[in-house]
Amino acid sequence: MTVKVTFLGGLGEIGRNCAAIEHDGKIALVDVGLMFPEEDMLGVDLVFPNWGWLVERAGDVECVVLTHGHEDHIGALGYFLRDVPVPVYGTRLTVELAKGRVDELGVDADFRQVAANRWVECGPFRWKHIPVSHSVPDATAVAFDTPEGIVLHSGDFKLDPTPIDSRPTDLPAFAALGRRGVRLLLSDSTNAERPGFVPSERSLSEPIYDIIRDAPGRVVAACFSSHIHRVQQIADAGIRAGRTVAFFGRSMHRNTAVGTDLGVLRLPEEAVVDIADLLELPANRQLLITTGSQGEPFAALSLMAQGRHKFVDVQDGDTILISATPIPGNETAVSKVISRLLKRGATVFHGRNAEVHVSGHGARNELQTFLNVVRPRAFVPVHGEYRHLHAHAALAREMGVPWVEVLEDGDAVVLDGKKTTVQRRAVDAGYVYLDGTTVGDVQRGVLRDRGHLADDGVVVVTVAVDHQTGTLVYGPELDSHGVMDDPAPVLAKAAEAVRQVVLDHGTKRNGDVASLRQGIRQAAARVVRAETARRPVILPVVLEL
């Protein structure tokens, strides 16, 4: 009986992590994540996996199994559940973080909390969640017990020997699976090019404390709101240095509340106040923990950098601690935020000039150790850009894994007895864009047009012609946007060319408005191109009176 794993995202980019495991005609989905838009995706808010083929087979989808609570693994879940309402399984904190995102969309969902290292069943699927150390609590790998053997998805992980919650990656559990026999391993590749081991999360405690202790005035610390262990360390350092803590940002408030309710985040009640009360204290007693570590334009830190924050006016003496490194694609935005903060007189510490961040993904030696423990018969690297997947595959081959293949989004791997085969482009796994409130309406052609408009601008040509005779009644009126500072001389020449086209069209008594529009477009474009060497979008508007 064959088992098929189809990849809908996460193979070739950071984000959109989503894989479908299929046997007995049924499907279980591992994660439904999002990706932040790249620079050329103008106007796009978020990018999702393409689950169109799952909508067509909605009756075959049994469940969604979540590895952990990061946006690149749960961020598109609510939108998926609107199309395919199925039960969602995950560990305690993961379920609560996902539930908060799904509730925002007003989607009713069947969340089922499970314990780690216990087998769970849904339809023909049987699996268990295995604890791993990552940059969010309650992260897990997922091991499926299939008719073809164990299919193991590592989730995101590292081998942190001293994690904040004393919950390290459960290597004994993985070793037990390895002794039993892992038919296929899918493993996190983010840091496959990075040699050595990633430092422990606990190694940041003293460097963060030193920065906060030595800060002469207010401290504003930004990190991922889901990185509750990092929030804990920053808050602990501030309290130890005699500061009072306030949280700011919708996701920060939501996730710290969830963490506190579940006992994952532990802070003395008297040490945490509302931001308005915090700002009444002397500056050297203030610690504000906020969102915006990725340079998001409307996040709190970005607004502070622009001088537009409702409460905080950054000035000389303030210290900004950005406890993160940029996600690929966000480097420019983060750099601009840092520069603006420096211009406002703040001292800025971030992941590239101070010990304030460690990665949540294992480096090369950790991946090597994991492969040695699991000893899979077949291996597909996941979660990373193509270069990360390629490096991880090379490592697996060095380790002697019998079957190794680098796949891309849309590909599938098929397990059939002793045979392991690949189906290239098994499904359409192209990007699906969230643009405003609509999902999937924006296609590549629209983004290409937006890029054209952004690069070269637009010229609108308006004319009115007599319906009977085709003679010019009004215009040509030309208006340009984004073409040049003083367009009047060029537009005047273009207007004469357009006028001649309309006159010629009327003389021929050709009532074809489409051909008139085409002639206007060509005439205006020809003049503008000759005068400016630019190719703006020409929009002809023809009114028949």
Active site residues: 188, 361
Q: Which of 478, 482, 490, 477 is nearest to 458 (CA)?
A: 482
Q: How far is CA 513 from CA 131, 504, 520, 540, in A?
A: 67, 13, 10, 11
Contact call for residues 536 and 457 (beta carbons, < 8 A): yes
Cα atoms in the Cβ-side hemisphere of radius 13 Å centred on 378: 21
Query: How far is the C-alpha of 508 from the C-alpha of 517, rounded, in Å?
Result: 15
Hey, how many other C-beta atoms are within 10 angstroms of the C-beta on 525? Answer: 19
Structure tokens that stand for 51 in this block = 């689950």
Question: Cα–Cα distances in Å, from 443 out to 48, 53, 357, 449, 470?
Answer: 13, 17, 37, 10, 37
Degrees to nearest 5, angle at CA 211 with 208 and 214 = 145
For the four alpha carbons of 284, 289, 294 and 296, in that order, the dihedral sign comes to negative
Longest dimension (CA), the chain: 87
- The one-letter code for the residue type at 180 is R
Residue the block writes with tokens 């891309």: 408
Separation of CA 163 from chain center: 25
**CA dihedral sign, ordered 287, 290, 295, 301:** negative
